[in-house]
Amino acid sequence: MDGVVVRFTVNGEAAAVRVEPDWTLLRALREGLELTGAKEGCGAGECGACTVIVDGRAVNACLFPAVEAEGAAITTIEGVAAADGSLHPLQRAFLDSGAVQCGFCTPGMVLSAKALLDRTPRPTEDEIRTALAGNLCRCTGYVQIIEAVQAAAEEMSG
């Protein structure tokens, strides 16, 4: 493959990946870097399963052109737990609240919630709902997910 090399940091590590001009960031992460935590659901910006954080903002990686990630700081679900493997408060709260059923939506949900809590440590319920509005879940009915984000926010802000 010819393509172009895109350089960015992912989960704090420098990465370089060769992509075709029409590749999405999701494809670059999954096929180029074997980071398969971001899921491909709709592939059309509708479900949020592919959500990653780019420069502090939750984005749909299935729509984000890989070449536009040049120089960006990217966080995927693989980088959310601590280096020693201990879960992020959001991950623990999702498990404790029963907010994970099939788990397909969970990486995207956690990253949308993390982007919110990183900028708004004590969000209102409305702010949580707005931040997660682009993330669909077929299983939970959302109540446990909202509770999990509230619990994590409480824990993280002491």
Contacts with ligand FES, residue ranges (CB under 6 A):
40-43, 45-50, 60, 62, 100-105, 137-140
CB of 112 to ligand FES, least distance (A): 11
Is the CB of 12 or the CB of 141 nearer to ligand FES?
Answer: 141
The DSSP secondary structure of the chain, one letter per residue, reads ---EEEEEEETTEEEEEEE-TT-BHHHIIIIIS----S--SSSSSSS-TTEEEETTEEEETTTSBGGGGTT-EEE-GGGTS-TTSPPPHHHHHHHHTT--SS-SSHHHHHHHHHHHHHH-SS--HHHHHHHTTT---SSS-SHHHHHHHHHHHHHHT-
CB of 93 to ligand FES, least distance (A): 14
CB of 99 to ligand FES, least distance (A): 8
Is the CB of 41 or the CB of 79 nearer to ligand FES?
Answer: 41
CB of 1 to ligand FES, least distance (A): 23
Is the CB of 87 or the CB of 102 nearer to ligand FES?
Answer: 102
CB of 84 to ligand FES, least distance (A): 27
Is the CB of 100 or the CB of 151 nearer to ligand FES?
Answer: 100
Is the CB of 7 or the CB of 22 nearer to ligand FES?
Answer: 22
CB neighbour class for 124 (10 Å; exposed up to 12, middle 13-18, buried from 19): exposed
